[in-house]
Amino acid sequence: MMKLLPGALIALSLAVPAAAKDKAPVFVETAAVKDKPAIGLDLAKAYVMLRSDIAVPLYLMKIPTADDQTNYDKFRADALAKAHGKYVKKQAEYDAAVKEKAKAPKGATLPPLPDKPFEPTEANFDFTPFPLLAGVSIGPINRFAKVDGGLSTYLQELTPGEYRIYGPLAVAPGGGAMGSCFCMGSVAFAAKAGEIVDLGVIAAKANLQVKRPEGDSSAPVMLDGPFLVPAGSSVAIDPRLANARVVPAKFRPVGKLPNYFGLTINRIPPIPGVMRYDRDRIVDLTAGN
């Protein structure tokens, strides 16, 4: 069914998470590894490495484990129960006001009836979706390394798990975002404890520049080259990571997601052996891998 929510419901859904703020479960703990002469990696954590020819942002979203899903479902159920409790109170007030009005003598001046409350239910309760509680912002600042005229390296510590590339975008802590989402198709990869998973290299200079045709104010920006190129052994790894276990990311395709931050939309370009598109349908090429 199409989700077409009345304004009241949207307002409700916005209000509930704010009220329950303190109880939000932590699905992802993450921090950029800073550029220091010596670094220590935590074997209980996973690390994501990304290299790029200019400073870039990349936004990841954790794919829920069974435990994550259970915790999220409980979080949502608690918020729904709380919202429903408020609704019951408001409905009682509303019913009382209606009764009062019915009893009042004709012509009596009464305050206007409050708006009829909207009952939140399991089906219509539009709660903050899991991906928005499990985001990881990499870059564009906090580079781990920068070679003059060469590549920037980002190294991000995070909770082990599987992550989806949501897009080349940055989200400010207080809200607001910049960039584009890969809302119409992307890839996910596993980040394991004690390992650095190497996402590869973003050739941003060649692929992420705005090339808008003259006279067209609204031309979409299409990515016509690969977004991430496997680094391979020809791209050197920072010497401080010499003893770390670095593994190339193994990607699998993942489907569409809403445009959570209200940005321009896009999709990750096809990756041979991983995914391609048939119009907007995503074809999984990993079956034989």
Partner 1 sequence: MRMHGLAAVAAMIALPFGAVPAAAQEKAVYLTDSVSPFGVSTVTNADAQSETMPKLAYTSDGTEASDFDKYYAFHRADTDFATAYGDISECDNYARGLQSGIGDAQVPYPYAGTMAGALGGAIGSAVAMAVFGSAEKRRLRRVNMRTCMNFKGYDRYGLPKALWDDFNFEEGLSGVNDTKRQHYLKLQALVASSGNLQGKVLGL
Residues 6+ apart with CB under 8 A from 100: 110
- Asked if residues 152 and 51 have their Cβ atoms less than 8 Å apart, the reply is yes
Site string for partner 1, 69-108 (x = CB under 8 A): ----------------------------------------
Q: Confirm or reject binding of residue 110 to partner 1 (CB under 8 A).
A: no
Is residue 119 near partner 1 by the rule CB under 8 A? no
Given 34, 99, 101, 281, the residue binding partner 1 (CB under 8 A): 281
Q: In the complex with partner 1, which residue's Cβ is closer, 38 or 123?
A: 123
Scanning 104-184, the segments in alpha helix (DSSP H) are: none
Q: Which residues contact 239 (CB under 8 A, 6 or more apart)?
A: none
**Residues 29 to 68 in contact with partner 1, rule: CB under 8 A:** 29-32, 51, 53, 55-57
Nearer to partner 1, 117 or 269 (CB): 269
Which two tokens mark 102? 């019915």
Which of the 8 DSSP states describes residue 22?
G
- Between 105 and 173, name the residue whose CB sits nearer to partner 1: 173
Rounded Cα distance between 267 and 277, Å, is 10
Question: Is residue 267 at the binding interface for partner 1, with CB under 8 A as the rule?
Answer: yes
Q: Show contacts with partner 1 in window 120-179 (CB under 8 A).
A: 126-129, 132-133, 135-142, 147, 149-151, 168-179
CB of 261 to partner 1, least distance (A): 6
* Interface with partner 1 (CB under 8 A), residue from 39, 97, 203, 246: 203
Q: Three-state SS for 176?
A: coil
> Residue 16 to residues 68, 152, 214, 254: CA-CA distances in angstroms?
20, 40, 45, 29
**C-beta of 171: minimal distance to partner 1 in Å?**
6
What residues from 222 to 261 belong to the interface with partner 1 (CB under 8 A)?
222, 225-226, 229-230, 232-236, 253-261
Q: Could you tell me the smallest distance in angstroms from the CB atom of residue 101 to partner 1?
A: 29
Query: Looking at 39, 80, 97, 184, which residue binds partner 1 (CB under 8 A)?
Result: 184
243 sits in which H/E element: none
Lookup: tokens for 287? 């079956």
Nearest to 123 by CA among 160, 71, 80, 156: 80
Closest to partner 1 by CB, 160 or 185: 185
Q: Helix, strand, or coil here: 97?
A: helix
